Structure formats: C-alpha cells, structure tokens
Amino acid sequence: MTKVSYPPGVENHGGFLRIWFMYKGSRVREKLSIPDTPKNRKSAGDLRSAVCFAIKTGSFSYSAQFPDSINLSKFGEERIDITVGELCEKWLSLKEIDICNNTMGRYKSAARNTLPMLGEFTLLSSINQEKMMSLRKSLLTGMQNPKRGHKSIVKGRSVATVNFYMGVIYGMMGFAKANGYISENPMDGMSPLRRSKVEPDPLTRDEFVRLIDACSNRQVKNFWSLAVYTGLRHGEMCGIAWEDIDLKAGTLTVKRNHTLTKEFTPPKTDAGTDRVIILIDAALEVLRDQAELTRLGKQHEIDVVLREYKKKEVHKCTFVFNPSLHAKNGRSGNHYAVGSVNQSWEAAMRRAGLRYRKAYQSRHTYACWSLTAGANPNFIASQMGHANAQMVYQVYGKWMTDNDREQLAILNQKLSSFAPSMPHAKVV
C-alpha cells in the first residue's frame, strides 16, 4: 500500500483536508472543506505557504482569509464578510435596548418583508446601490413571492411603508459601515420616495352625529365621542382610568398608551408624558355618562413598560372603557385594544352609510374643529401631545387659513375700541 504524502502543514481530517500554522505563538488549524485528493493536497499546500508568508510579512488578516473560522474570537478579531441575514440579526439584537417593543416589532416586520428580496444568505459585500434601488422598486410595485414561486405575487406597498422599510435598512447598513463590515453604505445618496401630501379628512358635525347614532352600544358611543372631543390617540383612549380624571377640575391626565404589541407604555412622545388635557363641557358630559357604567368597577394592577430598557412600573387602574360590559362570550379583557376599537369605528361607519375614513380621523376631527372655532394652535398642540405647534401648522394649515375672516372680525372688535383715532383733515 502506497503511503500518502502531504505537503508541510497539510493533513487529512475525516476525509477532508485542513491546514495548520503558527499564529501569534499558537498552533491553529483551519478546515478547508475540500476532499482529500492529490490535486487538492497541492492546492492546500500552496494556501498554507501563502498564509505563512503573509504572517511573516505582517500582511495577514485572519478575518479576511478565514471569515467563518471559530478561531477569530481567540485572536480578538471579528468576521468581516457576513451575510445580510446575519447582519440583520446582530443589528436588531443590539438595537433592542434603544427602542420600545412596539417599534422593535415594526423593525422586525421591515426585516421580514425585505430579507427574502435581498437574499438572507447574500454576502453583505455584494450589496450595491443598484440592488437597493431594485429592492425599493419591488417593494413599491410588487413582485413574485420568493418563498412561494411564480404563482404568488406580493402586492406593492404604499410610499410611506416603503420609506419606512428603506429607513430601517439604511440604519442597518450604517451600522455595518461603522463597524467595518463594509467600507461604504450602499444607500448613501438615495432619497426617500416623494409622498403626496395627505390632507386631514375630518367628520362634519352631521357625519359625527350619524356615526355616534350608529355605534352598537352606549359605551362605544361614549368612546368615540370622547375621542373626538379630546383628540386623544386610540392607544391612549384604551388606557384611560378613572384614577386619571378629575371631573370637578375638568381635567384628564394622560399617563399611558396601549400598543399593538398589547402592552402599556408611556404616551407616544416625551411631550405627551403625563400631559394634562383640559376637558370641554361636551367631554365632561360624556365622562359623567360613562361613570354610570364603569366608575365603580374593579381596580386592576397593570405593568407599564418604561422607556428605560427592562424597566417597568405598576399602575392601579379602574378602566373608563371596559369591553367586558358587553361581552357575549365572557372572554373580553378589562380594557380595549387598538385593533378592536378600530373595528368598532369601521362597523359604525358602515351602519351610518358614511364615506369610509380611517379611525385616526377622530384625532384630525378634534384638531380641525378646534382650529375652526379659533383655538390657539399652541393650545391644540399641547392638548394633542405634540412638542410644539409646528405639527399643527404643517398638517392643519388649510383649516387655519379658512378661519382668516373670522379672525379679522375678532381683531376689528377687540382693537377698534382702544386704537387711536386718525387725525382728520382741516376744513378751510
């Protein structure tokens, strides 16, 4: 039997070849995952010689030569060329401490919908701007579902959704550049898709009356009446407790928001944290009516997930709106969720025979009605939980200009009484 000869530093390992060499005072072995054949032995010997030469000349990069090696961490190096899927997993795991669970859910949704198009096992180094622009186009116009073949077509997304998805990927690519996985962000120079300005579509007073009349029960009527009279976000509406309300002072303190991930968090923005809503008479009337239904209900202890990572606090809440009042199967919770209240809005819109609008128009209705009534934009911004009036000016500018004539009448009335009279010309 002929003895097999191997070049220096090359050996057989389970029918495959591997090489060994000295690096930083340690003997290391690297599997090559190629069969043990005479031709491959020579190639392995050449590779081993090249590695030894690079080590001697100081030009050797372990992560570049063996990007999948288990020895990288041993020498304080990290793999440089990773796949898109690996980058996404690493980035999301580190991003978790920066954002709330609800936002993390949206980030994961963006990854889930874009990774199949980029290719989860595609090397990050092969991603260029052309591929990113093709991805954006596919998201917008639709494409074949890569998981289900040519018979299944993924519909195109809205411009807002595409911009959000691409924004998430841009953050991920920026992370890759900052940590040396790529030298340039392939999305640099790409602008968000242009969006047509969507004007608020508030209810008229007649439509509001028809909507409330079409609500299925007294509690739902009160829910949507209060939403329109306060401009609260729907998650905030779901979290209102009687402990937050002072009917005598006419105030409601917004302390929590219920998210799509079914957890309570502080209100959406820092400006909205524990903000005090000054209730108009109509809102107070709604709350007094609702008090007959739930004010003496059971108090519950709930966890509110704070913005600081892994921090929570307990709130004691007697919820103003309790779905168990009208539950038919006995399986309703102690408070509403955003998804269920949206369904109640849609059902009432259908029964009322109204032109369809999204439930978020309840918030727009409050803002537009308030501006039409002549309310100060800064006051409206404070009520709605915006940091300043800029959002009010940007979104509701039309309703502000429509009110110009009324504002002129107010100025004439207020200023004319003390404005100095103009001198009259002398009569000769």
Quote the CA–CA distance of 364 and 203 in Å, as a whole number.
9
Residue with tokens 């990572």: 309
Per-residue confidence band for 394, with pLDDT thresholds at 50, 70 and 90: confident
Q: Is residue 286 helix, strand or coil?
A: helix
pLDDT at 1: 54
Query: In 10 A of CB 427, how many CB atoms?
Result: 4
Quote the CA–CA distance of 315 and 302 in Å, as a whole number.
5
What pLDDT, in 10s, does the model give residues 287-316? 999 999 999 999 999 999 888 888 899 999
Quote the CA–CA distance of 174 and 93 in Å, as a whole number.
15
Is 79 considered catalytic here?
no
pLDDT at 374: 81
Quote the CA–CA distance of 259 and 26 in Å, as a whole number.
53
Residue-wise over 228-247: b if at least 16 C-beta within 10 A, else e?
bbbbbbbbbbbbbbbebbee
Proportion of the chain above pLDDT 90, given as a percent: 54
Q: Is the pLDDT of residue 4 over 90?
A: no
Domains of the chain: 10-75 (no CATH), 84-178 (1.10.150), 205-402 (1.10.443.10)
Choose the catalytic residue: 256, 275, 363, 364: 363
Helices 361-372 and 377-384 pack at an angle, to 10 degrees, of 160
- Reading the block at residue 288, the tokens are 């007094």
Is 29 considered catalytic here?
no
Choose the catalytic residue: 41, 48, 233, 256: 233
DSSP 1: -
What pLDDT, in 10s, does the model give residues 173-223? 999 888 778 878 999 999 999 887 778 899 999 999 999 999 989 999 999
Best CA proximity match to 54, nearest among 76, 88, 22, 92? 22
Proportion of the chain above pLDDT 70, given as a percent: 87
Quote the CA–CA distance of 176 and 307 in Å, as a whole number.
26
What pLDDT, in 10s, does the model give residues 227-263? 999 999 999 999 999 999 999 999 999 999 998 888 9
What pLDDT, in 10s, does the model give residues 108-130? 999 999 999 999 889 888 899 99
Q: What is the mean pLDDT of residues 144-163?
A: 70
Choose the catalytic residue: 221, 256, 268, 335: 268
Q: Which stretch of DSSP H or E encloses residue 23?
A: strand 16-23
Who's near 221: CB < 8 A, 6+ residues apart?
A: 212, 215
More confident residue, 413 or 336: 336
Is 363 considered catalytic here?
yes
Q: Is the pLDDT of residue 355 over 90?
A: yes
Quote the CA–CA distance of 17 and 40 in Å, as a whole number.
8
Is 6 considered catalytic here?
no
Least confident of 185-189, 201-205, 349-353, 397-401: 397-401
Q: Is the pLDDT of residue 272 over 50?
A: no
Is 233 considered catalytic here?
yes
Q: Is the pLDDT of residue 9 over 80?
A: yes
Strand order in the sheet with 16-23: 10-13, 16-23, 26-35
What pLDDT, in 10s, does the model give residues 361-391? 999 999 988 888 888 889 998 899 887 888 8
The 3-state secondary structure of 309-356, one letter per residue: CCCEEEEEECECCCHHHHCCCCCCCCCCCHHHHHHHHHHHHHHHCCCC
Quote the CA–CA distance of 416 and 334 in Å, as a whole number.
56
pTM surpassing 0.75? no
CA distance readout (Å), 294 to 160, 218, 236, 286? 39, 12, 17, 12
